[in-house]
Structure 1
Amino acid sequence: MKSRLVSLDVLRGLTIMLMTVVNNPGDWGHVYAPLLHAEWHGCTPTDLVFPTFLFIVGVSVVLASPNKDSGPAALQKIVTRTLRIFCLGLFLSFWSKINIGGTEGLALLALRLAFTLLIVIALFSEYHPKRQFYVALAVFVSMMIAAFGGFSDFETVRIPGVLQRIAIVYLIISLLYLHSGWQAQALTGLLLLVGYWAIMTLIPVPEMGTPNLDKGTNIAAWLDNLLLPGHLWVTSKTWDPEGILSTLPAIATGIAGLLTGTLLRANLSGTEKWRYLFVAGVLGIAAGLAWHVVFPMNKALWTSSFVLYTAGMALAVLAILYFFIDVKGVNGWTKLFVIFGVNPMVVFFFSGIIPRVLSSIKVAHPLDPSQAAMGLQTFLYKFYLEPHFSDPKNASLAYALIYLSFWFLILYILFKRKLIFKV
C-alpha cells in the first residue's frame, strides 16, 4: 500500500463513518437532533458530512497529481473517473425502478442484483484505460436515454444526487488544478461564492417575483424544475438539494480543498503547515458566521456562508489531525478511521444498495398476517432490536451503530488484504 497522508485518511474515515450512521437509523421518526440535517437554514454536525467529503476530494486531487500532467491521457483519466462516479450515483436512483415484464418478489430482486453486479464490474474494475472510458460513456449514455427517452419506468428517475455532484465537482476542480495556479483557483472560488450570492438574492425569480431563499420558490428551485422536470428529489418533486445552480458554490468547496492540498505540498515545515491550516480554518468559520447574518447557512441551497463555514470546520479538524498524526507522530489510535478512509467509494455505493435490498425482501407481519408485508430491514428492527430499548431514539441509534460495525468488518477484511477500490 503506497504512502498516504494519514491525517487525511483519518478525516475521510471520520466523515464516512458519520455518513453511515446518519444515513441508516433504525427509525427515521426517532433520531437525535445532531444526526439530522437542519430543517432549512442552519448547520448541524450531519450537514458537515457532504461538504467535508467534497473538501477532501479537492485535497486528494492535488496530492494524487504531483506533476500536473495535463496531456490527453490525464484528461481521459479525469473524464473516465467523472463518468464512473456519476453513473454509480445514477444507478442508485435507477435501482428501485429496474423492472422487466411481470417480474416480482425474489425474481425482481435477483434481476436488480444482476444489474448491480454488471455495474460494479463495469465501473469498479481496472482494465485498459481506453476501454474504461468507452464502457463508462456507454453506461452514461444508456442511462440518459432511459431517463429522457420516453420510457415510463424511468420518466421520474432522479438525475441529481450526492455522487453525481461529487463527479461534477471532481471534473471541474481537476481541470482547474491542471491549468491554473493557486491564485487563479482562489479567485475562481471567490467569484463563485459572490456570484452565487448575487444570483440568489438579487435576481427576481421568473414567474414568482421577489428573490428569496424559501423552499421551492427560490431561483435555484426554479432552474431545477425548468431543466429537470420530473427528475428531481422525490420528497420535493420541484427542487433538489443537489440541484444545478447550487453545484456552483459546491465547486468552491472543492477549490478550498485544492488550496489546502497545495499548502500541504509546499516547502514548509510540518509545524508551519498545521498552523496555517488552523488559522485558515478559524478564518473560514468566522467568515461563514458573519455572512450567515445576510445569507444564511443552508445545505440544500449550499449557500456561500455554508461553504465558508463547513470548509473552515474541515480545515480546522484536518489541521489538528495533521499536527498530532503527521507532525507529532501520535498515530496509534488511527487504524479504525484509516480502515474506513481508504475505501470510501465502496461504502458510499454499497451502503446505498444494501438497505434497498433488505427493503425489497418482504416478510409477513408476525403478529397480524392480515397487515401488509414489511421489508426485512423493518422486520428485524421492529421485532428483534427495538423491543430491547426503552427509548426509541437509542434503539434507532443502536441499529445505525450495528450497521456501522457490519461495514467495519467488511472494510477490515479489504484492508488486511491491501485491497483499495478506486473508481
Structure 2
Amino acid sequence: MTKDRLISLDIFRGLTILLMTIVNNPGSWATVYPPLLHSEWHGCTPTDLVFPFFIFIMGVAISFAMPTKAYDNTTFNKIFTRSLRMVCLGIFFNFFGKIQLFGLEGIPLVFGRLVITAIVGYALMGNFNAKIKTYLAVSIFFIYLILSYIGIEEYKIVRLPGVLQRIGIVYFIASLLYLKTTQRTQLLIAIGLLLGYWAVMTLVPALGFEITNLEKGTNLAAWVDSILLKGHMWETTNTWDPEGILSTIPSIATGIIGLLIGQLLNNSVLKTEKAKKMFIIGIILIVLGQIWNLVFPINKALWTSSFVLYTAGLATLTLSILYYCIDIANYKKGTKLFLIWGVNPMIVFFLSEIIPQAMVMISFPNPKTPTENINLLDYLYVAGVKPFFNNEMNASLVFALLYVGLWSIMLAYFYKKKMYFKV
C-alpha cells in the first residue's frame, strides 16, 4: 500500500464489490431474499446501489490517481487505453459463452474458452509498455466489432453494453473533465446532464408513441437502444438494455459527483471539516433525489436523474462515515477483509463473471435422476449446500457467501504477495 492511498475509499470499494459478488452468485435465483435482487422497475434496493457506488468511487479515485493536472498526449493516451481496456474486458463477458472452437463441445470447448480467457485477460491486464497496451486494446475492440457485425451466426446477438463498458466510458469522460475543467464547470456539466436527461426522457416521446412514458421497452431510452444496438442488447428483453446508450449520459453525472468529492478530499481543509462537508452534501443529495423522485421516479435501469442524486448521496454519506472512522479516528478493526477486496477489484470483476459461466457449461447426468442432466454449478448447490437448510433462501445465500469465502482466500494471497491486477 502506498502512503497516498485513501484507506476508507479502498474499504468502501471492497464493501461494494463484495456485495456485488454476493448478489450475482446465489445458489438459486428462484430463492433470493428481496434486498439481494434489483427492484422490479421503479424504486431502489441495496442491490441497486452497487453499480452507482462503483462509478462514484471511481470518480473519487481519479483525483488521487492524478494529483497534478498535467495534461499532454501521454496522459490522454493513458486515460484512453485504460478506458478501452475496461470496455474490452466487459464485452468479453458477453462473448465468453458464445465462443466456438473447431467444432469442440462439452469440457474440451469449456477448456478452450478458458484458454482464450487467460489470453484476453493477460492482454488487457498485463503490465506492458504504453504502446503495446494501446495496440492490444484497440485490436481486441475491433475484433469484437468485426465478430459482432460480420454475420457469424454465433455472434449476431452478442450483447455489447455492460457494467464495465459503462464504467470505462464514464472514467474516460470524468478524467478529461478533471484535467481540463474547473470544479465549477464540472458541477455545471453534471447539473446540465441531469436536467437535460430529465427533459429528454419526459418531453420527447419514442417514435410510434404519442406521449412520453417511463415504462419498460416503450420509453425513449429503449427506443434509442432498439435502433443503435439492434441485436446486441440484453438478451432477457432484446428490446432495451439496462446499460444502454441514452441512460449512460446521466451516469456520467454520477462519476462527476464522485470526482468533486475526491477533489474535496484532496484539498487542504482539516480532515474533520471534510468529513462534515461530505456528510452534509450526502444528506442534501438524498433529499433532492427523493424530491425529484416525485416527478422522475428513482429507477436504476433508466438511471434517472433522481436515481443519480439519491445513490450519489448515499455513497457520499457512506464515504463520510468511513472516512471519519478510518482516516480520522484511525479505527480499522475488522476492516482487513474489505481492504483486500478493495485493492484488487478488477480481477474479481473479470473472473467472478467467467467462473460461474464456465461451471454452467459443464453438465453431466444428475445422480438423483440419471435421465436428466445437471450443470456443475447447480450440482454444487443442490448436493453440497441445499440439503443442510430447511429455508431455501438461507441455502441460496450461504452458497453465495461460500463463493465469497473462496474469493477472500485468493484475494488475501494476492494482497500478501502484493499482486495487484489493474487495467
Instruction: Give TM-score, length-normalised by structure 1.
Output: 0.99
Letter in 1 for 2:381: Y
Q: Which residue is equivalent to 2:404?
A: 404
* Percent identity over paired residues: 51
Q: Does 2:211 align with 1:210?
A: yes
For 1:162, the equivalent position in structure 2 comes to 163
2: CA distance between counterparts of 1:299 and 1:134?
34
CA distances 1:206-240 after superposition (whole Å, capped 9, x unpaired) = 12221100000000000000001010001000100
Q: Give the count of matched residue pairs.
A: 422
Q: Which amino acid aligns with 2:408?
A: F
Q: Which deviations, in whole Å up to 9, do the C-alpha atoms of 1:74-95 show, x marking residues without a partner?
A: 0010111111100000000000
Distance 2:376 2:267 in 1: 52
Report the Cα distance in structure 1 between the residues aligned to 2:254 and 2:210, rounded to whole angstroms.
30
Counterparts of 1:92-241 in structure 2, within 5 Å, are 92-241=93-242
Q: Secondary structure at the match of 2:385?
A: helix
Letter in 1 for 2:272: T
Please give the residue correspondences for 1:237-252 in structure 2 after superposition, counting only pairs within 5 Å: 237-252=238-253
Superposition map of 1:259-298 within 5 A: 259-298=260-299
- C-alpha distance in structure 2 between counterparts of 1:192 and 1:34, whole Å: 30
The whole-number CA distance in structure 2 between the counterparts of 1:367 and 1:323 is 54
C-alpha contact (below 8 Å) 1:197/1:295 kept by paired residues: yes
How many Å separate the matches in 2 of 1:207 and 1:57?
38
Unaligned 5+ segments in structure 1 are none
Q: Which moved more, 1:149-158 or 1:243-252?
A: 149-158
- Tell me how far apart the structure 2 counterparts of residues 335 and 211 of structure 1 sit (CA, whole Å): 49
CA-CA distance at 1:108 after TM superposition:
0.6
C-alpha distance after superposition, 1:154-178 (max 9, x if no partner): 0000000001000110111111111
Q: Which moved more, 1:358-367 or 1:258-267?
A: 358-367
- 258-267 or 358-367: which moved more? 358-367
4+ residue segments displaced more than 3 Å: none
Hey, what does 2:348 align to over in structure 1?
347
Aligned partner letter, 1:195: G
Q: Does 1:376 align with 2:361?
A: no
Which residue of structure 1 lines up, in the alignment, with residue 389 of structure 2? Answer: 389
Cα displacement string for residues 90-131 of structure 1 (whole angstroms, at most 9, x for unaligned residues): 000000000023210111111101110110110111011111
Partners in 2 of 1:56 and 1:363 — Cα distance?
A: 42
Q: Which runs of 5+ in 2 are unaligned?
A: none
CA distance in 2: counterparts of 1:117 and 1:322, whole angstroms: 37
Q: For the residues of structure 1 that align with 2:334 and 2:6, how far apart are their CA atoms?
A: 15
Q: What is the identity, as a one-letter code, of the residue corresponding to 2:320?
A: A
How far 1:273 sits from its partner (Å)? 0.2
> Please, what is the CA RMSD of the aligned residues?
0.7
Alignment of 1:49-60 (within 5 A): 49-60=50-61
The whole-number CA distance in structure 2 between the counterparts of 1:93 and 1:246 is 20
Alpha-carbon separation, structure 1, partners of 2:394 and 2:217: 34
Offset at 1:333? 2.3
CA distance in 1, matches of 2:292, 2:277: 22
Write the distance in 1 (CA, Å) between the matches of 2:209 and 2:158: 26
Contact kept in structure 2, 1:363 and 1:379, CA below 8 Å: no
Once the 2 structures are TM-superposed, how far is the Cα of residue 332 of structure 1 from its aligned partner? 2.6
CA distance in 2, matches of 1:66, 1:282: 27
Give, in angstroms, the shift of residue 418 of structure 1. 1.0
The amino acid that maps onto 2:143 is S
Q: Which residue number corresponds to residue 337 of structure 2?
A: 336
The separation in 2 between residues aligned to 1:346 and 1:208, in whole angstroms, is: 44
Once the two structures are TM-superposed, the CA of residue 267 in structure 1 deviates from its matched residue by 1.1
Deviation at 1:367, TM superposition (A): 1.6
Aligned counterpart, 1:80: 81
How far apart, CA to CA, are the structure 2 residues paired with 1:336 and 1:204?
Answer: 48
Contact 1:297 1:305 in 2 (8 A): yes
Structure 2 Cα separation of the partners of residues 24 and 230 of structure 1: 27
> Which amino acid in the other structure matches residue 210 of structure 2?
G
Cross-structure match for 2:254: 253
In 2, Cα distance between equivalents of 1:92 and 1:205: 30
Q: CA–CA distance in 2 between the matches of 1:392 and 1:252?
A: 40
User: One-letter code of the match for 1:412?
Assistant: A
The corresponding residue for 1:68 is 69
The corresponding residue for 2:421 is 421
Task: Give, in angstroms, the shift of residue 334 of structure 1.
Answer: 1.6
